Amino acid sequence: MKRLFVSFLVCMMMLSGCTVEEKEPPKTLRLTTTTSVNDSGLLEYLRPYILEETNINLEIVSLGSGAALEAGKRGDADALLAHSPAAEKTFVEEGYGVKRSTFMYNFFVIVGPSGDPAQIMNLSAAEAFKKIESAKSQFISRGDNSGTHSKEKAIWKLTGLDAEAVSTDTSFYVSAGSGMGATLTMASEKQAYTLTDLATFLSMKSKLSVNVIVSESPDLRNDYSIIVINPDKVSNVNVETARAFEAWMLSERALKLIAEYGKDTYGETLFFTE
Amino acid sequence: MKEIFDIILTSLQVSLSSTMIAAVFAVPFGLYLGLSTKKTALRLRPVFSSLAGLPPVLAGITVFLLLSNAGPLGSLRLLYSKPAIVTAQVLIVFPLIVASVYPLVLPIKAVFLETCFGLNIPKKKQIRYLFSELRYGLLAAVLLGFGRAMAEVGAVMMVGGNIRYKTRVMTTAIVLETNQGNYSTALTLGIALLLISFSINWLVHGLFKEVSHDPLY
Amino acid sequence: MIHCTDLSILINNKQLLSTESLTFEGGMIHIIQGENGCGKSSLFRSMIGWMPFSSGHCQILGTWIYQPQQFHLFAPKVADNFVNIELAHQMLISLKAESILSQSVKSLSGGERQKVALIRTLCEEADVYLLDEPTSYMDESSRLLAYYLMKEHLLDRGKTVLMINHEVITQPFDSGRLYLFKDSKLNVVHTW
């Protein structure tokens, strides 16, 4: 019985040796991203190029921004891909991340009912928010401390209004505490305004009855960064692979691929690179 | 802290209403289903048993599609409100209570029916007799329903929308806090949920013990 | 009064009863005896329509009350079984069992359960009473008290009473018939 088992093992080793001999097995990278990045499909689009050119196999976990950073702190991820600059800065300053590299951006948009009851067309985001508040038009907030929610809070700060008072004014402000998809559905159902990333909106557009009202205002810019987790502060993270992934993502080749993404599906670019 | 308290109150408010509404119809219906010898009743029993085990999100999507703007009841503007949550929970709890009530009748059914036939007791009065006779079993069934309503997440998220100060309940708040990485707040809410569930069951258990003082019971 | 003609009861292809004509008059007791499984209970069930006859028909004149051999007592309290508590209490006194009125049903013995069931039946007003072994678990003296109660409440008021019973009794009933159920026939063996 024992001899049989050993010969079986030898056979298996020979078999497996034959297939992998030509190439090293791919290295695994645990990448945690925010939900909106994952929903845009960008990483699935890049995945075969990454495997081909760097021999890295991505294991993607998509979480809300808060939970994504928390996963980084616990060592549940080797690298993060996020879009909440303020929280990321604190994260790196506290020593959890080696550094933070901003490599692409796009624009948030304000969507709302086609009638535009608060008359915010062609305004800047801050002015638009001010008018929504004074008109008491329904506004749906993610309310989940996600990157999009952080952006929304930053815009409220720009308006000069008391952000705390606004977020507790239930006469027009609805804090959904949900993901982008659920929040957009709610905005469509309630015919309300909301702040969204363009990629998620475009992917759901056919099912929604709200339109883009404000876009490409400078204060709607949305920066995406890669953070490599610091192995000195967090144990059991694979820093080499994370650095290799970061280097590839910042390369000319990757930036060109990113800039092309979405043109054939949505007819417009979803992410811009510098 | 006040917000957590409000969330707990909202949870209790919607779950109690939905359980009560469901129980008022499900208990007599379950008793009738257990007692009836009609063919339709025999066929309905397995239907309710399977409905009790269906994923609650099915109830959620049904209510969502009904109440959504494009749905048949869209004009009521009830989506993302407490009544919407109550409706979904009633759909979840009703079959659960029916499915746990009718088996209570089966062991005594044959003798009970012959006795009632012999004494000329009308159907309505039979159900009233069963109601007082099986009240602890019925109470347990209703509590089971209440527990399920309190614990429900998916359907409540869909039709309630987890709106702060309005439709946020304990379970959806736990999901939200977990997604944000606030595990300690999520855990606090979880423990509160557990404590509420425990105290309600202890209370009912205490009530039960007080009444059943028979040595043979 | 009950009048039956050409009765036939078949269960699982076994002939339980086949009789030409039967009449049970009021004002006297009809006691039916027979071996276990000979079809006594089935006869009662068929008479009241709980179970169909294979053929023939049976007519009960007036209203009826039937107490099955295996009966259900409404729980949790003994008192839950009585609509007229006052009358039930008096009957319990005459059976020397008034203390069980406040007890719970689950704590009763077999004989006590039969007392409750019998009184519940006697409290109901009807023209015909069908009782299937109502006293089988009672002790000797309770049984006699129960017979007195039946005589006083039913027979003295002209009711028709049919009782399945294994004990051969004539006392305390003034008049009655004793039937023997054998070989699917119901024969009168004694009249007094």
Chains B and A touch (3+ CB pairs under 8 A): yes
> Are A189 and B168 in contact (CB < 8 Å)?
no
What residue in C sits closest to B114 (Cα-Cα)? C68
Maximum pairwise Cα distance, chain B: 66
* pLDDT for res B76: 87
| From B68, B168, B180, residue closest to A64, measured CB to CB | B180
Residue A12 has pLDDT above 80, yes or no: no
In the beta sheet, which residues pair with residue A102? A225
In the beta sheet, which residues pair with residue A210? none
| From B157, B163, B179, residue closest to A63, measured CB to CB | B179
Euclidean distance between CA atoms C157 and B15, whole angstroms: 58
Residue A23 has pLDDT above 80, yes or no: no
A162 lies in the same domain as A60: no
Q: Do A222 and A197 meet the contact criterion of CB atoms below 8 Å apart? A: yes
Of the pLDDT bands very low, low, confident and very high (cuts 50, 70, 90), residue A2 is low
> Are C68 and B120 in contact (CB < 8 Å)?
no
Euclidean distance between CA atoms C131 and B118, whole angstroms: 10
Within a domain: A15: no
Closest chain B C-alpha to A138 CA, distance in angstroms: 13
Q: Do A236 and A75 meet the contact criterion of CB atoms below 8 Å apart? A: yes
Number of domains into which chain B is organized: 1
Domain hosting B43: range is: 2-211
Euclidean distance between CA atoms B75 and B134, whole angstroms: 42
Mean predicted confidence (pLDDT) in C17-40:
87
Chains B and C touch (3+ CB pairs under 8 A): yes
Give the range among A113-117, A125-129, C78-82, C182-186 with minimum mean pLDDT: C182-186
Within a domain: A207: yes
Retrieve residue C134's tokens: 């109502």
Q: What are phi and psi of A44, to 5 degrees?
A: -65, -35
> Are A174 and B68 in contact (CB < 8 Å)?
no
Please, what is the Cα angle at C94 between C90 and C96, to 5 degrees? 110
A31 lies in the same domain as A136: no
Closest CA to A46 of A260, A239, A268: A260
Looking at residue A96, which CATH number applies to its domain? 3.40.190.10
Interface residue of B109, B115, B138 to substitute, partner C, most C CBs within 10 Å = B115
pLDDT of B59-88, one tens digit each?
A: 999 999 999 877 899 888 888 899 999 999
Looking at residue B34, which CATH number applies to its domain? 1.10.3720.10
Within a domain: C136: yes
* pLDDT for res A20: 45
Within a domain: A16: no
> Are A177 and B168 in contact (CB < 8 Å)?
yes
Of the pLDDT bands very low, low, confident and very high (cuts 50, 70, 90), residue A14 is low
Residue A43 has pLDDT above 60, yes or no: yes
Task: Tell me what the pLDDT averaged over chain A comes to.
Answer: 88
Closest CA to C110 of C87, C139, C84, C86: C139
Q: What are phi and psi of A108, to 5 degrees?
A: -70, 160
Within a domain: A248: yes
A216 lies in the same domain as A112: yes
In the beta sheet, which residues pair with residue C131? C67, C163
Looking at residue C161, which CATH number applies to its domain? 3.40.50.300
Closest chain C C-alpha to B131 CA, distance in angstroms: 10
Give the range among A104-113, A263-272, C84-93 with minimum mean pLDDT: A263-272
pLDDT top residue among A236 and C148: C148
* pLDDT for res A74: 86
> Are A209 and B69 in contact (CB < 8 Å)?
yes
Within a domain: C105: no
In terms of residues, how long is chain B? 217
Q: Is the CB of residue B49 less than 8 Å away from at least one CB of chain A?
A: no
- DSSP letters spanning chain A: -HHHHHHHHHHHHHHHHHHHTTSPPPEEEEEEEEHHHHHHTHHHHHHHHHHHHH-EEEEEEEE-HHHHHHHHHHTS-SEEEE--HHHHHHHHHTTSEEEEEEEEEEEEEEEE-TT-TT--TT--HHHHHHHHHHHT--EEE--S--HHHHHHHHHHHHHTS-HHHHHT-TTTEEE--S-HHHHHHHHHHHT-EEEEEHHHHHHHGGG---EEEE---GGGEEEEEEEEE-TTTSSS--HHHHHHHHHHHTSHHHHHHHHHTTHHHHSS-S-B--
What residue in C sits closest to B136 (Cα-Cα)? C76
Contacts of A21 (CB under 8 A, 6+ apart): none
> Are B118 and C75 in contact (CB < 8 Å)?
no
Euclidean distance between CA atoms B83 and B14, whole angstroms: 8
A208 lies in the same domain as A238: no
Mean predicted confidence (pLDDT) in C36-51:
88
Number of domains into which chain C is organized: 1
Domain hosting C33: range is: 2-71+126-191
Within a domain: A164: yes
Please, what is the Cα angle at B152 between B149 and B156, to 5 degrees? 100
Within a domain: C120: no
Q: How many CA atoms lie within 13 A of C109 on its CB side?
A: 8
| From C45, C104, C121, residue closest to B214, measured CB to CB | C104
Within a domain: C13: yes
Percent of chain A with pLDDT over 90: 57
All residues of chain B having their beta carbon less than 8 Å from the beta carbon of residue A186 are: 80, 161
Within a domain: C31: yes
Maximum pairwise Cα distance, chain A: 83
* pLDDT for res A21: 47
Q: Is the CB of residue B82 less than 8 Å away from at least one CB of chain A?
A: no
Computed on alpha carbons and rounded to an integer, the radius of gyration of chain C in Å comes to: 17
Q: Are strands A193-197 and A97-112 parallel, antiparallel or unpaired?
A: antiparallel
A196 lies in the same domain as A129: yes
Going by the DSSP 8-state scheme, the letter that residue C182 receives in this structure is: E
> Are C72 and B112 in contact (CB < 8 Å)?
yes
pLDDT of C154-175, one tens digit each?
A: 999 999 999 999 888 888 898 9
* pLDDT for res C187: 87
Q: Is the CB of residue A61 less than 8 Å away from at least one CB of chain B?
A: no
Q: Is the CB of residue A209 less than 8 Å away from at least one CB of chain B?
A: yes
- Which stretches in chain B have pLDDT values below 50? 213-217
All residues of chain C having their beta carbon less than 8 Å from the beta carbon of residue B116 are: 72
A162 lies in the same domain as A239: no
Give the range among A44-53, A66-75, A122-131 with minimum mean pLDDT: A66-75
Closest CA to C66 of A111, B88, B114: B114
* pLDDT for res A274: 79
Interface residue of A38, A74, A189 to substitute, partner B, most B CBs within 10 Å = A189
* pLDDT for res A9: 56
Q: Complex ipTM, two decimals?
A: 0.91
> Are B163 and A68 in contact (CB < 8 Å)?
no
Within a domain: B216: no
| From B161, B179, B182, residue closest to A176, measured CB to CB | B161
All residues of chain B having their beta carbon less than 8 Å from the beta carbon of residue A64 are: 179-181
Residue A217 has pLDDT above 70, yes or no: yes
> Are A186 and B161 in contact (CB < 8 Å)?
yes
Burial (0-12, 13-18, 19+ Cβ within 10 Å), A12:
exposed
A114 lies in the same domain as A60: no
* pLDDT for res B213: 47
> For tokens 């933070």, what's the residue?
A100
Please, what is the Cα angle at A117 between A115 and A121, to 5 degrees? 75
Within a domain: C111: no
Interface residue of C45, C72, C133 to substitute, partner B, most B CBs within 10 Å = C72
Q: What are phi and psi of B167, to 5 degrees?
A: -120, 15
Contacts of B77 (CB under 8 A, 6+ apart): none
What residue in A sits closest to B64 (Cα-Cα)? A189
Within a domain: A11: no
Number of domains into which chain A is organized: 2
A258 lies in the same domain as A156: no
All residues of chain C having their beta carbon less than 8 Å from the beta carbon of residue B122 are: none
Euclidean distance between CA atoms A230 and A226, whole angstroms: 13
pLDDT of C75-96, one tens digit each?
A: 888 999 999 999 999 999 999 9
- DSSP letters spanning B71-137: STTGGG--TTSHHHHHHHHHHHHHHHHHHHHHHHHGGGHHHHHHHHHHTT--HHHHHHHHHHHTHHH
Domain hosting A128: range is: 107-220
Chains A and C touch (3+ CB pairs under 8 A): no
Question: Other C-beta atoms within 10 Å of C83: how many?
Answer: 9
Q: Do A112 and A125 meet the contact criterion of CB atoms below 8 Å apart? A: no
Residue C136 has pLDDT above 90, yes or no: yes
Q: Is the CB of residue B178 less than 8 Å away from at least one CB of chain A?
A: yes
Within a domain: B172: yes
Of the pLDDT bands very low, low, confident and very high (cuts 50, 70, 90), residue A203 is confident
| From A66, A188, A190, residue closest to B180, measured CB to CB | A66
Question: Neighbouring chains of A at 3+ CB pairs within 8 Å?
Answer: B
Closest chain C C-alpha to B217 CA, distance in angstroms: 7
CA dihedral sign, ordered B157, B163, B167, B170: positive
Mean predicted confidence (pLDDT) in A116-145:
94
Contacts of C32 (CB under 8 A, 6+ apart): C40, C43, C162, C163, C164, C165, C179, C181, C186
* pLDDT for res B212: 52
